[in-house]
Structure 1
Amino acid sequence: MSKKLRLFIAGLPVIFTACQYTPSATTTPNSPVVASQLTSYSWQYQPPNQTDSVRVSFEPQGALYIQTPCNNQSGAWKLQDSKQITTTDLASTMKACSPEKMQLERWSAQLLSKQQLQYQISGNTEMPVLTLTNQQGQQYQFTGTLKPEVKYQGQAETVFFEVAPQTEACNGQQQCLRVKEIRYDTNGLKQPSQGQWHTLNQPIEGYQHDPKVSKIIRVKQYKTVQGNDVFLYDMTVEQRLITP
């Protein structure tokens, strides 16, 4: 028998927009390219001795998105000058989490809600570091990861996959996922006509497979300049526990 559980995720959608910035080999702090580089990366801060982290995205049109271990936050930002960022008040989702996770959420709100921050980007394009300094002189360092829209030079297509508990051997000795595409209408209702089960010959980046659980997940699909597919895990929409 199987016991079906639905998992509903409360959160703000994080929508990244591609920009035309092409990173150079190195970055000089506060050089003219810094503003473009600021929006080309998502920036992660992990406090010392903690496994949880906060991820911040500065969008070219001025939106500010923050992912915390608990709630997602959003607001707006702009460059005050070549060294300073100003931010607006933040809105937030309202999930209840553990005290440890909510503490990190409060920290991100204190740092980034309606603030004036000095910023500096250093390092190279593979591992850039963003240093934010608040008005009290406290400094926090964020590591950068190139946004997929910039890396793959295009927008993603959103797809939904049902993932089977069992994997299948492919590409030699590698175990690959068995998936079936699921479609929803504009009201979020699952469509009766579904795709066929097939073996996915490449991994879904960021997805953690559990052979005891059948899931429906939302995935971002990108095309590389060579025409290959790249899949990035976005969220779990539904899951079903497999019991004896």
Structure 2
Amino acid sequence: MKHEPALLTIFHDPSGHITESLAQVTTDVANAYTDKYVLLSEQTHPSVEYLLSKAGFHLRRIPKRGVADARRRAAEWASVLPHDYYHYCDLDRLVTWFQTNKQEIPDIKRNIVKRDYTIIGRTAEAFASHPVEWQETEKIANRVFSIVLGKDADITAGSCGFSRRAAELITSQSEAMMTDGEWPMLILNQWGLSSIGTYETAGLQYLEQNKGNSQSDIDAWTVRLKLAYIISDSISVLTRKEQST
């Protein structure tokens, strides 16, 4: 088994909008991680696959069935690969990270190997760079999990670290509509507080490429509010489940 964390990521990009930014960081990403794995939706533009393949990523194409499904497929893949630890990060987040604060990556990798699960969140400044509807709704989900954990944690930043045995547990038990709160709850319920670490990074800030689909102001707020509820509910469900056992 390999002790150095491998990189694990997912993305859906039919238009190839990430290509220009991705091209700026592929060399740095290739140098930062010895082993790299990516799951791309079947609709993702070939230019994205070309750049990632050139950077040394092992690549799989999967049907587009939502972020939670893609993340579960990533964890399932990780559970059978020869690595002790993984750094998971949504691809657009990873690109932004390397554009702005790539110097944080070595310390992130050193921290990931200390726990079965590392919640990689944002500094106050990085969090404040996001649209207000992201901030106000994500605060809710983060607060709900922080109550359970007993300290502040930012679970909604699109990045985490986990061990191979955590990947195996996630693969066998994950089923929620969103994984941001579910995954650390599964680890917490299985192995306790000592299995969870937290880390704040400036690199998980918001740039225009992190925006996603264009929406009206009302739709943007409504969608983010629904996501916050789904994440919070998954935490509540697993908390009740643990208390009943």
Q: TM-score if structure 1 supplies the norm length?
A: 0.26
The structure whose RCO (Cα within 8 Å, separation 6+) is larger is 2
Larger helix fraction of residues? 2
Structure with larger Rg: 1
Q: TM-score if structure 2 supplies the norm length?
A: 0.26
Larger strand fraction of residues? 1
